[in-house]
Amino acid sequence: MLCAQRGETKTLARMWEFPGGKIENGETNEQALTREIKEEMHCEVVIGEHITTTTYEYEFGTVHLATYFAKIKTGTPLLTEHIQIKWLHPLEMDELQWAPADIPAVKIISETNIATLTFN
């Protein structure tokens, strides 16, 4: 799994998250994820199964986070928005300090048999 660490100057500095971002008007969750990965990491992805949708209330506002499995179709992730990325086995992900909104997805992924996943 690709895990990304937020920058020093960002909200939730140095916490880990799954790459992605905000949905623009008229986009589906899947379209937003595809666009954000292309913009932030210069990769094209194929979106797979929906993992979970989480609503989390931070002191700065409420975040609605839809998490999906995805795989890289083309490109190699580049650091443009994050200070570090790591590829981890699902059972290793609990070693990182995750942003609170991502924690439910981390728990689900750690219990998923990734060999059974399908991608469009």
Domain 2-115 homologous superfamily, CATH: Nucleoside Triphosphate Pyrophosphohydrolase (3.90.79.10)
Question: Where exactly are the structural domains of the chain?
Answer: 2-115
Phi, psi torsion values for 76, nearest 5 degrees: -125, 130
Exposure letters 48-75 (e unless 16+ CB within 10 A, then b): beebeebeeeeeeeebebbbbbbeeeee
Give residue 118's pLDDT: 65
The rounded distance, in Å, linking the Cα atoms of 48 and 79 is: 23
Give residue 77's pLDDT: 96
Q: How confident is the model at residue 113 (pLDDT cuts 50, 70, 90)?
A: confident
Q: How confident is the model at residue 120 (pLDDT cuts 50, 70, 90)?
A: low
Per residue in 12-59, pLDDT (tens digit) is: 999 999 999 999 999 999 999 999 999 999 999 999 999 999 999 999
The rounded distance, in Å, linking the Cα atoms of 64 and 54 is: 6
pLDDT above 80 (res 72): yes
The residue-averaged pLDDT of 52-75 equals: 95
pTM of the model: 0.89
Give residue 115's pLDDT: 66
User: To the nearest whole number, what is the mean pLDDT of the chain?
Assistant: 93
